[in-house]
Structure 1
Amino acid sequence: MNESSENGSSENDSSDGGYAVSAEFYDLLQAETDRRLAERRFAEAATRARHAVLDVGAGTGIVTEVLLRASSVPVHAVEPAPAMRAALLSRLAHLGADQRARVTVHPETLEAAGLAAVADLAVASNVVACLDPPTRRATWKAISAALLPGGLLLFDPPPTDLPAGCEEVGRLGPVRVGPDLYSADVTRRPHRGVLRMVFTYRVEREQELLREAREAFDLWPASPERLTEELEAAGLRLVQAPGADLMAARRPAA
């Protein structure tokens, strides 16, 4: 998961599901992979931005940093989850003063932020799948409002259907910190009509388990046809995406 939403649900050792568990492990296990992915997906579009860039669900700020480095315009980073926002601000603290001066952190949902006609590029990385349908439709409208006429939205689409049963997605790490190895096993399964992703984090020392923590996130599948309908209802028109793993939509020029 990236970067964030407010819709993570708790399981076993997790607390409120708002990334309270995952925030500790996220950058250690995923930052470098996510940075390379963000550079491939969004950097070129950011270089063409002339007004501002909107980062919807900024999470720990990996995508935000890529957008700041690739562009020369203001960046609006929207991150409502306190645990992820703490990591985001820590990342911004290590950037140059000129880059920090260009970023505005919005500590609420995009709808609550009320941004209007500020950006010519919006990106939503690992966010859309985490939104239930009503929230997703409200987010499209908020993105449309935040974009200038002709502005572009890039996002990775949610899954189109549910798995038949529990599936292993993969393993993150291990990454060594001193004598300890940090890792995570990721599984997914259908759960009451949604797809539940479960991250099981482990810290081991000399092949002994020191601690284990788990957090689950619900994902809402949606077909491309459904997404197209929702985007059009929000005033966004589907356009050719720069990569096969992305979808793109544009606010029509006035």
Structure 2
Amino acid sequence: MDDSGSYAVSAEFYDLLQAETDRRLAERRFTGAAGRARYAIVDVGAGTGIVTEVLLRASSVPVHAVEPAPAMRAALLSRLAHLGADQRARVTVHPDPLAQAGLAAVADVAVASNVIASLDPATRRAVWKAISTALVPGGLLLFDPPPAGLPDGCESVARLGPVRVGPDLYSADVTRRPDCGIVRTVFTYRVERDGDVLRQVREAFDLWPTPPEQLAEELHAVGLHLVQAPSADLMAARCAAE
């Protein structure tokens, strides 16, 4: 089974294989900025809500969790159901893409974790514009950048798991390869019992390589200007001050 980029396959496995690693990464990347937020935070592409939860715990302001994919949004709402009522009261879940969410000058922090690389150029530019619109003057955007170029060939990226659930072992192999100017990333998920493969399913995601100087130009065009990021694996931009 190969469902191209809808998360219909990956949603089942995502938290089991990636949640703890993603949580630690989000805490390192976003806790400081979230703690300094004074208006609100926008979580662009909230996924299963791992980053959303980190932002809620680190801040005292409203959080806008934007997640258009139904499979991931179901996991996001399940995660929110287990939070305290005070935290749930501060989060708004937006089921439409950010450009359709109607957020204007509401937040002083926006984060886009594991999102920008998966956007085609036209969609990426629309997202920059929507983020600029959502931020107040001086607001900060944090995001992990897409790859600057294509891999040389097919390569192994990661091995996730295995994680045991009862008698079964869940795991995933992640590979990527160049494909007509984009990077094709394939997650192959397996469920094994007593050495036998019970299930094997795949989901592929396309990534659009973009050099940093092009990102800077696109951001500048919508009033976002690169600044020093809090960690080497992030990029940061600020909305122009009035």
Superposition TM-score, scaled by structure 1 size:
0.94
Partner SS state of residue 195, structure 1: strand
Q: Report how many residues are paired.
A: 242
Q: Which residue of 2 aligns with 1:92?
A: 80
Decide which of 116, 127, 142 is 1:154's aligned counterpart. 142
Q: Secondary structure at the match of 2:161?
A: strand
Say whether 1:69 aligns with 2:57: yes
**1:212-251 → structure 2 map (5 Å cutoff):** 212-251=200-239
Distance 1:243 1:17 in 2: 28
- SS of equivalent residue, structure 1 residue 87: helix
Using the alignment, how far apart are the partners of 1:249 and 1:110 within structure 2? 18
How many angstroms does 1:16 deviate by?
A: 5.5
Per the alignment, residue 115 of structure 1 pairs with: 103
Give the counterpart letter for 1:189 in structure 2. Answer: R
Matched, 1:207 2:192: no
Q: Is the 8 A contact 2:8 2:71 kept in 1?
A: yes
**Partner residue in 1 for 2:26:** 38
Q: Please provide the CA RMSD for this pair.
A: 0.6
Partner amino acid for 1:231? L
Tell whether the 8 Å contact from 2:158 to 2:173 is kept in structure 1 after alignment. Answer: yes
Q: Deviations over 1:62-84 (max 9, x none)?
A: 00000000000000000000000
Give unmatched runs, 5+ long, in structure 1: 1-12
- 1:154 CA drift (Å): 0.3
> Judging changes above 3 Å, is the alpha-carbon distance between structure 1 residues 16 and 241 closer, same or farther for their aligned structure 2 residues?
closer
Match of 1:193 among 181, 189, 192: 181
Structure 1 vs Structure 2: percent identity of aligned residues? 80
Q: Which amino acid aligns with 1:173?
A: G
1:213-251 deviation digits (Å, cap 9, x = unpaired) = 000000000000000000000110111111100000000
4+ residue runs of structure 1 moved beyond 6 angstroms? none
In the alignment, what sits opposite 1:179? 167
Partner of 1:144: 132
Q: Distance in 1 between matches of 2:42 and 2:176?
A: 30
Instruction: State whether residues 14 and 20 of structure 1, in contact with CA within 8 Å, keep that contact through their aligned partners in structure 2.
Output: no
- For residue 114 of structure 1, report the CA deviation from its aligned partner: 1.8
User: For each residue in 1:43-69, what CA deviation from the matched residue of structure 2 results, as whole angstroms up to 9, or x when unmatched?
Assistant: 111000000000000000000000000
Unmatched 5+ residue regions in structure 2?
none
Query: Do the aligned residues in 2 keep the contact of 1:182 with 1:202 (CA within 8 Å)?
Result: yes
Q: What TM-score do you get using the length of structure 2 for normalisation?
A: 0.99
Q: Which amino acid aligns with 1:152?
A: L
Counterpart of 2:120 (choices 125, 128, 132) is 132
